[in-house]
């Protein structure tokens, strides 16, 4: 090999190894080879309004987004975890994503504009989503089921971390309960005081996998980041200290490179798990009920009172719990509502919903009045 060829090979190898450390894969390499090579790939590690922090190797740069990308009606905007091309401090391209963890934003349910913009990207190109749920007041299996639905829908592998496991001796009963609602999903207890439990998480990320932490405020996401990093890089706060209006300690999304390898994205606590509009089924979260339902006598069985209902039979024999069926029904009601909204205008559905509620209230009042007569 000639000297110059040798040098360029060495450069290429060191360039690739720097990117691989950040999760670069053949999927992105292929896109890169088809692109303008005067720009360099980088991974988005922070988004602060219109300034993006990107990482290339060990260095972090602050860059802005090309105006042309702002104007794209596609709604594609870089999120933490994205791979982008940077040229002279400007993001010129966003690589096609492997996956995107996203949710419906809270509070805006009607209006045409909201329809276009109510999908919020949380993080991109993930190997795992760690659902963090504290074994304190935070513990809520129904909420875990909702997180699971969100994560599965985005095509991402979930892992459930039951944090603050030191508050329950032993936490086994909780682990079993969550395993029962999340068949096939790894469920691990986690505690700040149990180094092995933290090491297990670090091992999952080794050597260059990426995970995003999601869970309610105060569940211990930032505490885990500090444990993994081996130093306090994230501010944490006890639930009792959260006074005033800012209930969330973490307010930004950031990606951290771990000392042993692997990356983890800290997120602010999610107050409302908005399920996405494209979401269509609950098969991944309730495979047991779904497969029983296929054996019901009627294909449109609601599993409430029908004869030949295999699901009710399973409840009678204790094969599944009625609580689980209850959560399944609730989730499906919500998915029906989402699907309905897709077909009708959001305003009309909302109006009908309120008509339905006011009718219920009226009936209730009438009944109350009759009782007093
Ligand atoms: N006992 C116990 N407390 C913990 C553990 N992990 C976290 N905590 C406490 O839980 C509180 C909240 O932790 P954070 O890490 O700030 O929670 P967070 O999920 O980042 O919260 P937001 O940033 O608001 O979303 C802190 O007081 C932590 O000390 C644990 O393993 N055991
Ligand atoms: Mg936090
Ligand atoms: Zn049935």
Query: pLDDT digits over 114-135, tens only?
Result: 444 467 889 999 999 999 999 9
Rounded distance between C-alpha atoms, residue 56 and residue 58, angstroms = 6
Cα dihedral 212, 216, 222, 225 in deg (nearest 10): -30
The alpha carbon dihedral of 322, 323, 328, 333 has a sign of: positive
Residue 105: per-residue pLDDT:
62
Instruction: Give the ligand 1 atom nearest the CA of 241.
Output: 27
Residue 241: per-residue pLDDT:
58
Protein residue whose Cα sits closest to atom 22 of ligand 1: 217
User: Who contacts 169 (Cβ-Cβ below 8 Å, separation ≥6)?
Assistant: none
For residue range 257-281, list pLDDT tens digits in order.
Answer: 999 999 999 988 876 666 654 555 5
Residue 163 near ligand 1, beta carbon < 6 Å: yes
Average pLDDT over the chain, rounded to an integer: 82
pLDDT over threshold 90, residue 208: yes
Residue 171 near ligand 1, beta carbon < 6 Å: no
Q: Which ligand is nearest to the CA of 300?
A: 3
User: Who contacts 286 (Cβ-Cβ below 8 Å, separation ≥6)?
Assistant: 324, 328, 331
As a three-state string, the secondary structure of 1-25 is: CCHHHHHHHHHHHHHHHHHHCCCCC
Name the CATH architecture for the domain at 3-96: Roll (2.30)
Q: How far is the CA of 310 from the centre of ligand 3 (A)?
A: 5
Residue 168: per-residue pLDDT:
93
Instruction: Give the ligand 1 atom nearest the CA of 190.
Output: 31
- Start-end of H helices in 59-104: 67-70
For residue range 56-84, list pLDDT tens digits in order.
Answer: 988 899 999 988 887 655 567 899 999 99
Residue 115: per-residue pLDDT:
42
Residue 233 near ligand 1, beta carbon < 6 Å: no
Residue 71 near ligand 1, beta carbon < 6 Å: no
Q: Which of 169, 197, 218 to mutate to test the pocket of ligand 1 (most atoms within 8 A of CB)?
A: 218
Of 232 and 311, the structure prediction assigns the larger pLDDT to 311
For residue range 336-354, list pLDDT tens digits in order.
Answer: 766 666 565 556 666 776 7
Q: Which listed CATH number (3.40.50.720, 3.40.50.300, 3.40.1160.10, 3.40.710.10) goes with 101-240+248-266?
A: 3.40.50.300
Q: What percentage of the chain has pLDDT greater than the value 70?
A: 79
Residue 269 near ligand 1, beta carbon < 6 Å: yes
Reduced to 3 states, what is the DSSP secondary structure of residue 77? coil
Q: Specify the domain boundaries for CATH 3.40.50.300 within the chain.
A: 101-240+248-266
Q: Specify the domain boundaries for CATH 2.30.30.140 within the chain.
A: 3-96
Protein residue whose Cα sits closest to atom 2 of ligand 1: 164
Protein residue whose Cα sits closest to atom 11 of ligand 1: 238
The CATH number of the domain covering residues in 287-372: 1.10.40.50
Residue 244: per-residue pLDDT:
44
Rounded distance between C-alpha atoms, residue 258 and residue 206, angstroms = 9
Q: Which of 143, 237, 254, 273 to mutate to test the pocket of ligand 1 (most atoms within 8 A of CB)?
A: 237
For residue range 168-181, list pLDDT tens digits in order.
Answer: 989 999 999 999 88
What per-residue string of b and e applies to 168-186 under the rule 16 or more CB within 10 Å gives b?
Answer: beebeebbebbeebbeebe
For residue range 89-115, list pLDDT tens digits in order.
Answer: 999 999 989 889 988 764 444 444 444
* Mean pLDDT, range 290-298, rounded to an integer: 91
Those residues whose beta carbon sits under 5 angstroms from the ion ligand 2 are 221-222, 249-250
Q: Which ligand is nearest to the CA of 246?
A: 1
Residue 373: per-residue pLDDT:
57
Q: How far is the CA of 327 from the centre of ligand 3 (A)?
A: 15
Q: Specify the domain boundaries for CATH 1.10.40.50 within the chain.
A: 287-372
Q: How far is the CA of 306 from the centre of ligand 3 (A)?
A: 6
Residue 226 near ligand 1, beta carbon < 6 Å: no
Residue 282: per-residue pLDDT:
60
Cα dihedral 18, 21, 25, 28 in deg (nearest 10): -50
Reduced to 3 states, what is the DSSP secondary structure of residue 344? coil
Residue 338: per-residue pLDDT:
63
Tokens representing 150 are 């969100």
The 10 Å Cβ neighbour count of residue 333 is 10
CA distance to 105, 160, 358, per residue, from 352 (Å)? 22, 37, 10
CA distance to 101, 117, 191, 270, 324, per residue, from 217 (Å)? 18, 24, 17, 7, 25
Residue 30: per-residue pLDDT:
87
Strand partners, 137: none
* Mean pLDDT, range 197-216, rounded to an integer: 96
Residue 192: per-residue pLDDT:
95
């Amino acid at each position: 090999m000639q000297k110059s060829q040798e040098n360029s090979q060495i450069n290429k190898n060191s360039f690739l190894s720097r990117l691989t450390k950040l999760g670069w894969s053949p999927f992105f390499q292929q896109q890169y080879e088809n692109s303008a090579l005067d720009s360099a790939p980088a991974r988005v590690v922070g988004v602060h309004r219109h300034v993006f922090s990107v990482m290339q190797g060990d260095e972090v740069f602050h860059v802005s987004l090309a105006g042309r990308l702002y104007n794209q009606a596609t709604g594609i905007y870089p999120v933490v975890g994205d791979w982008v091309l940077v040229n002279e401090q400007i993001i010129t391209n966003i690589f096609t994503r492997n996956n995107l963890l996203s949710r419906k934003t809270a509070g805006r349910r009607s209006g045409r504009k909201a329809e276009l913009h109510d999908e919020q990207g949380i993080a991109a190109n993930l190997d795992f989503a760690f659902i963090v749920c504290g074994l304190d007041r935070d513990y809520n299996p129904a909420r875990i089921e909702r997180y699971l639905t969100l994560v599965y829908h985005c095509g991402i592998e979930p892992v459930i971390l039951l944090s603050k496991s030191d508050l329950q001796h032993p936490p086994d009963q909780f682990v079993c309960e969550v395993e029962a609602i999340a068949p096939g999903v790894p469920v691990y207890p986690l505690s700040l005081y149990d180094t092995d439990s933290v090491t297990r998480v670090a091992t999952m990320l080794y050597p260059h996998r990426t995970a995003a932490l999601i869970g309610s405020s105060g569940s211990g996401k930032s505490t885990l980041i500090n444990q993994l990093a081996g130093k306090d890089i994230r501010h944490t706060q006890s639930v009792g200290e959260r006074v005033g209006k800012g209930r969330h300690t973490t307010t930004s999304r950031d990606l951290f490179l771990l000392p042993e390898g692997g990356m983890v994205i800290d997120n602010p606590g999610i107050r409302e798990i908005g399920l996405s509009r494209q979401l269509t089924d609950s098969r991944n979260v309730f495979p047991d009920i779904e497969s029983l339902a296929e054996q019901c006598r009627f294909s449109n069985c609601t599993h409430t009172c029908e004869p030949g209902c295999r699901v009710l039979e399973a409840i009678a024999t204790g094969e599944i719990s009625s609580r689980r069926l209850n959560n399944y029904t609730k989730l499906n009601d919500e998915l029906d509502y989402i699907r309905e909204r897709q077909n009708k205008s959001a305003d009309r559905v909302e109006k009908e919903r309120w008509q339905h509620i006011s009718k219920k209230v009226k009936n209730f009042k009438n009944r109350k009045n009759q009782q007093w007569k």
